[in-house]
Structure 1
Amino acid sequence: MSASRTARPAGRTTTPPAARLGLLLSLLALLPLSALLVLGPQAPPAHAAVAATGLHVSGGRLLEANGNDFVMRGVNHAHTWYPSRTTAALSDIKALGANTVRVVLSTGDQWTKNDTADVANIVAQCKQNKVICVLEAHDTTGYGEQSAAVSLSRAADYWVSVRTALTGQENYVIVNIGNEPYGNTNYTGWTADTKAAIQKLRNAGFEHTLMVDAPNWGQDWSFTMRDNAASVFAADSLRNTMFSIHMYGVFDTAAKVSSYLNTFVAAGLPILVGEFGDMHSDGDPDEDAIMATTRSLGLGYLGWSWSGNGGGVEYLDMAAGFNANALTSWGQRIFKGTDGIGATSKQATVYGSSSGGGGGTTGSCAVGYTVSGQWSGGFQGEVVIRNTGSTAVNGWTLGWTFPDGQRVTQMWGATSSQNGSAVSAASASYTAVIDPGASVSLGFIASGTGGTGTPSAFTLNSTACARL
């Protein structure tokens, strides 16, 4: 969260100069859309990840220790400024279906240090509420431009200082080294500094999944993170680092959202949207595109933020006055809207098999469904099946029920049969095997005049699947 978006008490918010925001947007406007499609000169690393003890990255995906795919669905909570609110906030956020909470901490350089005992307590509360903890050091925000901000090296020193609270918690905790660790000044230093911070933590014995934020106040309009992500990932001896993009005014169209995220997916590099909102003073982010694109790609998102925003961005509160019964329009959107947390969140299996607010127990599969074309009396659809388990699927039958009486007239990637509105799709020879973490697709053409409503549930070999 950049300084202009920080949820901190009144009188402690610094707004970035208008000139800087204008420069940011004007520079972005000069870039052709095709520029967003190029990752840069580095190739993705060829070597496999070292065996991990908990949450870990493999094949560009975040997996649990048992090999199950884990897709973060959650929000940010400003613990360091509102420590007395944390117990209720974690409980309320979980009750609304989240499987992850990103918790704001301080190294002690800008705000009161969250010491070892406090960090241990937060981790314990996350575990009690059955959410994954993403812990972030906020004092790095806007380094190089924000005068009080500290370096990633200093943030790494902080994590080493509280390491005893984190050792053995690799199943439950992701360490987000530093929030938005560069502003729009000297941001080219991000690559070397990020590599050095990762290596400092590995040398200190950290085996956790590490998360690194982009420069440019988290929005990477310069594509510094995008173009150097492969080399940063390779600099991690455990190959257990994931990348976090913050999507505010820079990401104001679906094309920009899709292009940025798909570049990482195509390169086999792990990415999530670590912060985003439904509006902002630096431009209007396309939250619908952010949520739809992450759902279709099976990527995580963490909205900013639960409550307590000040400095003119109070509209980013999801719960007015930390009251879970007073959700704002943004809170309603992210928790209860299309592609929202309630519809797409699945609880980490380390806590058991029940999904958060996503609607019941699911098996080791996740399904995405999209209508890719439509005409009078018919449409074309695509279904993506992901194996989120730890063993390969060899031969499958996917089932769903159309809500509007649609009928499949042609299918590829599988062989279809239909009884009333119930569809059964049996794998083709070339789609039969789905390795752990991998996906296959099938397409179809269907007729129907009643509409193109999305099926509410899918089963794979008679086991209920989560939704992508």
Structure 2
Amino acid sequence: MRDTRHRLPHRHVRPHLPAALAALAALLLTLLAPTASAHAAPTGFRVENGRLLEASGNDFVMRGVNHAHTWYADRLDALDHIKAKGANTVRVVLSSGDRWTRNDTADVANVVAQCKRNRLICVLEVHDTTGYGEQSGAVTLSRAADYWIEVRDALVGQEDYVIVNIGNEPHGNTGYTRWTDDTKAAIQKLRAAGFDHTLMVDAPNWGQDWAFTMRDNAASVFAADPDANTVFSIHMYGVFDTAAEVSDYLNRFVAAKLPVVVGEFGHDHSDGNPDEDAILSVTRQLGIGYLGWSWSGNGGGVEYLDMVENFDPDRMTSWGQRLFDGPDGIAATSEEAAVYRSGPGEDTTAPTAPGAPAASAVTSSSVTLTWGAATDAVGVTGYDVVRVAGGTETVVASAAGTTVTVSGLAADTSYTFAVRARDAAGNRSARSATVAVTTAPGPAAGSCAVGYRVTGEWPGGFQAEVVVRNTGSAAVDGWTLRWTFPAGQRITSLWGGTATQSGAEVSVAAAPYTATIPPSGSVSLGFTGTRSAAGADPTTFSLNGAECSAA
């Protein structure tokens, strides 16, 4: 976010890229998967297998907000109020002195101390880099790294509590292709200076990465960190105005086992209306951190981004209420960092692992799971059911007792589930044994119709739309669509679902936001693909195993 205290933030413009480039870019995260390398053992937070872990090995998911400290240095009591609302993390705005009043070593040390007093993880960022190349007065990431080295005495030994966000939105929409090299160099400068902290790096394009520079080069940036301890931060404003865009962007990082957080987002913005519900829902499903912008003090036309009025915690705005108290918000999903739960007399012992779940009442879209209770010295407070796939876990349901129905599943699809227990201190158990479940087939033949059309073409590539219509009398709750390409086409990027392709055979599983199709209703998918030459379009489609008519 720019300095919203003084002026309207820069519009995060999303130009129309050539479709061929967009199609090619969609492949790169998978192709550039991070490779293992020898690196120093982190002394605090660390990244393993695409996840952010504390020194204890606990998975840590950020749930917090941004606080504009450099412009409101007398408002550090805001940290007390942010903690009281349930946050586990605060991202603190600092200045290197190049554009605003410098936050010196003593001030940074005080900020860290106040974060620790309030049992908050402290993400510290330099704001002077905002929009470099386009914003007058903005400085380079190299200069931001110099600032961190200058205030290093405030940070040494705080690796358990502090994450260093090297520079805020370090490139605008001009010269942003330099982001990759500039970011690698800044990371290596800090490592050479002895920084053992987890580092966070913001995306270019005013943080929104509409050109996918960070997305497509994240693997190589991660590999350039000799400590393999870098987290990527995307800022979601008007560029992310649909659930499909939110889901696609974050899922690509998860699939590539690259750590990502939503470092800023809002419920509205001058450049468009971000889909905050999707941001909150998808980050919860994927176990990804988020930090809303911002606690208070916005100006220049974006005062609506304040979570409380005039720093008064008793005057919450609708945005603050949504973020803290709404579905998938901070109050419902935040867990305090384990480092603050390890003091004398505090519970640091995790519950025992629950018994293996057993499946019953399996339908085309749901299954009921029942498991053996876990035990804990102070009592189990609940259970999280996780879907296990490709070495990753996604929480799909939570329960106070030992049974729950998981819904929204795709028909005729195999799933693997397990359970973890939680106690009052936030400790999580080891994972239970797993159970494999295959959902029942979906609706009978004749209850669906599919329309397919090519919406754009270029040499070697194309874009298409698929419309799936429910022609039956009952809702479709969870689905898998299959077809065969007749002319060697291959999907490179799809939105509205998750595509799997083997040769000419394509299978698309519904996304959470497209899973339900009411009677006479429809959902739309879109994708980009490659082909060697123009050829015939697919004509036969099946939904949950039943053949569909042409729409």
Normalised to the residue count of structure 2, the TM-score between the two structures is 0.65
* Cα distance in 2 for residues equivalent to 1:52 and 1:438: 29
Which residue does 2:57 correspond to in 1?
Answer: 67
Letter in 2 for 1:265: V
Which residue does 2:263 correspond to in 1?
Answer: 274
In the TM superposition, what are the counterparts of 1:366-405 in structure 2 within 5 Å? 379-380=366-367, 383-384=385-386, 400-402=402-404
CA change 1:414–1:289 in 2 (3 A) is closer
Letter in 2 for 1:7: T
In the TM superposition, what are the counterparts of 1:319-358 in structure 2 within 5 Å? 319-352=308-341
* Cα distance in 1 for residues equivalent to 2:275 and 2:185: 34
Which residue does 2:32 correspond to in 1?
Answer: 42
Which residue does 1:129 correspond to in 2?
Answer: 118
CA change 1:29–1:334 in 2 (3 A) is farther
CA change 1:260–1:328 in 2 (3 A) is same
Q: CA deviation at 1:295?
A: 0.5
Q: CA deviation at 1:215?
A: 0.2
Of 130, 135, 156, which residue of structure 2 is paired with 1:146?
135
Report if aligned partners of 1:384, 1:441 keep a CA contact under 8 Å in 2: no
CA change 1:169–1:260 in 2 (3 A) is same
* Cα distance in 1 for residues equivalent to 2:127 and 2:260: 20
C-alpha distance after superposition, 1:188-209 (max 9, x if no partner): 0101110110011001100000
* Cα distance in 2 for residues equivalent to 1:200 and 1:102: 22
In the TM superposition, what are the counterparts of 1:121-270 in structure 2 within 5 Å? 121-270=110-259
SS in 2 for 1:80: helix
Report if aligned partners of 2:145, 2:166 keep a CA contact under 8 Å in 1: yes
Letter in 2 for 1:95: A
CA change 1:176–1:148 in 2 (3 A) is same
C-alpha distance after superposition, 1:155-192 (max 9, x if no partner): 00000000000000000000000000000000001011
Which residue does 2:67 correspond to in 1?
Answer: 77
Which residue does 1:7 correspond to in 2?
Answer: 4
* Cα distance in 2 for residues equivalent to 1:199 and 1:441: 44
Of 67, 81, 99, which residue of structure 2 is paired with 1:110?
99
* Cα distance in 2 for residues equivalent to 1:32 and 1:140: 27
Report if aligned partners of 1:381, 1:444 keep a CA contact under 8 Å in 2: no
Of 48, 51, 59, which residue of structure 2 is paired with 1:58?
48
Letter in 1 for 2:111: I
Which residue does 2:548 correspond to in 1?
Answer: none
Which residue does 2:544 correspond to in 1?
Answer: none
* Cα distance in 1 for residues equivalent to 2:275 and 2:216: 23
Report if aligned partners of 2:66, 2:295 keep a CA contact under 8 Å in 1: yes
Report if aligned partners of 1:99, 1:130 keep a CA contact under 8 Å in 2: yes
* Cα distance in 1 for residues equivalent to 2:61 and 2:168: 20
Letter in 2 for 1:82: Y
Which residue does 1:418 correspond to in 2?
Answer: none
* Cα distance in 2 for residues equivalent to 1:56 and 1:232: 16
Letter in 2 for 1:242: V
Aligned residues: 394
Q: CA deviation at 1:7?
A: 3.5
In the TM superposition, what are the counterparts of 1:292-303 in structure 2 within 5 Å? 292-303=281-292
Gaps of at least 5 residues in structure 2 are: 355-361, 370-384, 389-398, 407-411, 421-427, 441-476, 478-551
SS in 2 for 1:221: coil
SS in 2 for 1:141: coil
C-alpha distance after superposition, 1:411-468 (max 9, x if no partner): 96469xxxxxxxxx89xxxxxxx9989996865869xxxxx9xxxxxxxxxxxxxxxx
Which residue does 2:493 correspond to in 1?
Answer: none
Gaps of at least 5 residues in structure 1 are: 355-359, 368-374, 387-396, 405-409, 416-424, 427-433, 447-451, 453-468
Report if aligned partners of 2:296, 2:310 keep a CA contact under 8 Å in 1: yes
Which structure's relative contact order is higher, taking Cα pairs within 8 Å and 6+ residues apart?
A: 1
CA change 1:212–1:146 in 2 (3 A) is same
Report if aligned partners of 2:130, 2:167 keep a CA contact under 8 Å in 1: yes
Q: CA deviation at 1:400?
A: 3.2
Identity of aligned residues (%): 64
SS in 2 for 1:102: strand
* Cα distance in 1 for residues equivalent to 2:205 and 2:122: 25
C-alpha distance after superposition, 1:132-176 (max 9, x if no partner): 000000000000000110000000000000000000000000000
Which residue does 1:357 correspond to in 2?
Answer: none
Normalised to the residue count of structure 1, the TM-score between the two structures is 0.76
Report if aligned partners of 1:385, 1:439 keep a CA contact under 8 Å in 2: no
Letter in 2 for 1:215: P
CA change 1:326–1:229 in 2 (3 A) is same
Which residue does 1:372 correspond to in 2?
Answer: none
SS in 1 for 2:142: helix
CA change 1:108–1:210 in 2 (3 A) is same
CA change 1:28–1:43 in 2 (3 A) is same
* Cα distance in 1 for residues equivalent to 2:19 and 2:266: 21
Which residue does 1:431 correspond to in 2?
Answer: none
C-alpha distance after superposition, 1:205-229 (max 9, x if no partner): 0000000000000000111001111
CA change 1:364–1:244 in 2 (3 A) is farther
Letter in 1 for 2:323: I
Q: Which structure carries more strand by proportion?
A: 2
Q: Is 1:309–2:294 an aligned residue pair?
A: no
* Cα distance in 2 for residues equivalent to 1:193 and 1:161: 19
CA change 1:286–1:48 in 2 (3 A) is farther
Structure showing greater radius of gyration is 2
Q: CA deviation at 1:40?
A: 6.2
Report if aligned partners of 2:132, 2:139 keep a CA contact under 8 Å in 1: yes
Q: Which structure carries more helix by proportion?
A: 1
* Cα distance in 2 for residues equivalent to 1:366 and 1:275: 35
